[in-house]
Structure 1
Amino acid sequence: MLFGRTPALPTPEQALTGRPEPMFTVPDRHTVLGTPLLGPYPEGYQIADFGLGCFWGAERTFWRLPVGVWTTLVGYQGGHTENPAYEEVCSGLTGHTEAVRVVFDPALLSYERLLKTFWEAHDPTQGFRQGNDVGTQYRSAIYTHTPEQAAVAEASRAAYQQALTSTGHGTISTEILPAKGRTFYPAEGYHQQYLDKNPAGYCGIGGTGVKLSTPFETNWGASCPTGIAPVEE
C-alpha cells in the first residue's frame, strides 16, 4: 500500500474529509461475550482504549481475559477524518490507528492489569508498524479517559521501558493521549470479533517476551486502587 514510502501521519489539512454519519451499522452484540457492543454501559464500568497493531488479534487478546471484561469492540481512533471507512484508514490519509475499546468492571479487573496485557501483547518500539503490518494505522497507542488513567498509563510506560532497556530492546513509541477529542469510530461489522468468526484468520499480534512486573500486576482480581472514576461519554 505504501509503495516504499515511509509512513507519516497526515496533518488535519491533508487528511480525508470524511462524513457526518457512518456508512455502516455495527452489530448489536458481542459474538463471544453476548453483551451489547455500544453504550450505554453498566453504571460504574469503565472504558479503556488501546492501539496495538491489527485490531483482529488485539481484540481477542482482551476478550480472552478470564474476568472483568464486559465487552470489546474494534474501531478507528486518534485521527482527523470523521466516520472513516477501513479502506480510508488503510490509505494512511485519515490519521487513525486501529484501536480496541475494552469496557470493564473495575471491581473485578484493574486498569493496571489491562495495561500489563497491552504492553506484553505487542512490541511498542516499532513505530508505524507491528511485525509485518506497516502503516500509521498500526501504531501503538493508549487513549485515556480520566487523569487517573493517564497517570497510571504513563507510570506503566516508564516501568516497561526500564524492563525493555534491561533486555536490549529499543525505545517505546507508544502515544499516550486523552481520548477526549479523539473520537472512537466503531469499525465495520465484519471486523468485530473477526477471529471468533474466522478462527483461522490472520493474527499479527506478538509481544517481545518481556514482562511488566509489579506494581502493575499486583491488583489482578481486586478493586482498582487508583481512584479511577467511571467514564462519562
Structure 2
Amino acid sequence: MFLGRKQTALVAPEQTLPGRSERPWHLSERHAVLDAPLVTDTAPAGHEVAIFGLGCFWGAEEVYWQVPGVWSTSVGYAGGDTPHPSYEEVCSGRTNHTEAVRVVFDPAVVSYADLVKRFFEVHDPTQGMRQGNDVGTQYRSAIFYEDEAQRDTALEVIQELDRDGPWDDPVVTTVELLVSFYPAEEYHDEYFRRNEGQPYCQVVVAPKVGQFRQRFAYRMKSASREAGGV
C-alpha cells in the first residue's frame, strides 16, 4: 500500500492535520459484489453496524463480505481526529485514524459476537501499530463500538483470548467508542476483488483471504446458498 513515512505512535490531537468540512470525492452507490447500497450513515431496519480496524482494509473487506448475514461492507477511516481525511493523510500518521471496514449485518443471521471472533481469527491482535510488514498507526488493531452491548461483547472476547488464546503476547486491540467513520475514496471499494493481480494483493492480501476461505468455507455465503440458506 502507501510507502510513505511510517508513523508508529499517535500524535496529540492539536498536532493532527486540519482536514476539510466535507468529503471531496465521489462514493460508489452500490456494492458491486453484494449488490447492496454502500450506506454511510444509517443501516436498514433490523440491521446493525460493526466497525473493525485490522490492518489493510482491502483484505478486511473481502473477509467480511463472505459472511452469511452481512448485508453490505464499506472501507474508511476511524479513530482519528482529522475530519474527512484522504488516504495519503491517514498514511502520513498525522490524522490518528486507522483503516477500517464498516460491516452492516443482520443479527438474526450472524451475531455481533461472531463478527468479533472472526476479527480475531484473521489478523494478529498483539502487534500494536502494525500488521506484518505493514507498519504505521493506520494498521493498528481496533474495535469501534456503537453502544455498551458491543463494548461489553468485545471486552469479553478479549478477556477470553488473553486467557485461552493462541498468542504468547497479550492482545493490544483497542476498544473505542465510535465517534466518526469517514468513507475512503471510491477506488478503495472492493479493491482486492478488482485488483487481485496487483503485487501487494498477491503477497499480503491474498494469503489472508485464502486462509479465511479455507478455514470457514462451510460458513461462507456460497456454502449457505448451496444448503438452501441465505
TM range (shorter): 0.7 to 0.9
Partner of 1:45: 47
Partner of 1:19: 20
Following superposition of structure 1 onto structure 2, how do residues 3-18 of structure 1 map, counting pairs within 5 Å? 7-18=8-19
How many residue pairs end up in the alignment? 203
Q: CA RMSD in A?
A: 1.9
- Find out whether 1:125 has 2:126 as its counterpart: yes
Q: TM-score, normalised by structure 1?
A: 0.82
Q: TM-score, normalised by structure 2?
A: 0.83
Deviation at 1:2? 2.9
Which amino acid is 1:60 matched to?
E
Partner of 2:136: 135
Contact 1:44 1:105 in 2 (8 A): yes
Deviation at 1:168? 5.0
Partner of 1:60: 62
Which amino acid is 2:140 matched to?
R
- Find out whether 1:89 has 2:120 as its counterpart: no
Partner of 1:73: 74
Deviating runs (4+, > 2 A) in structure 1?
199-207
Partner of 1:194: 191
Partner of 1:30: 31
Which amino acid is 2:168 matched to?
H
Contact 2:43 2:49 in 1 (8 A): no
Q: List runs of 5+ in structure 1 lacking aligned partners.
A: 210-219, 221-233
Contact 1:81 1:94 in 2 (8 A): yes
State the Cα deviation string for residues 194-224 of structure 1 (Å, max 9, x = none): 01111234343549x9xxxxxxxxxx9xxxx
Give the helix-richer structure, 1 or 2. Answer: 2
Partner of 1:162: 163
Taking a change above 3 Å as real, the CA distance of residues 168 and 156 of structure 1, as seen in their structure-2 partners, is: closer
Partner of 1:223: none
Partner of 1:2: 5
CA distance in 1, matches of 2:32, 2:193: 7
Contact 1:30 1:37 in 2 (8 A): yes
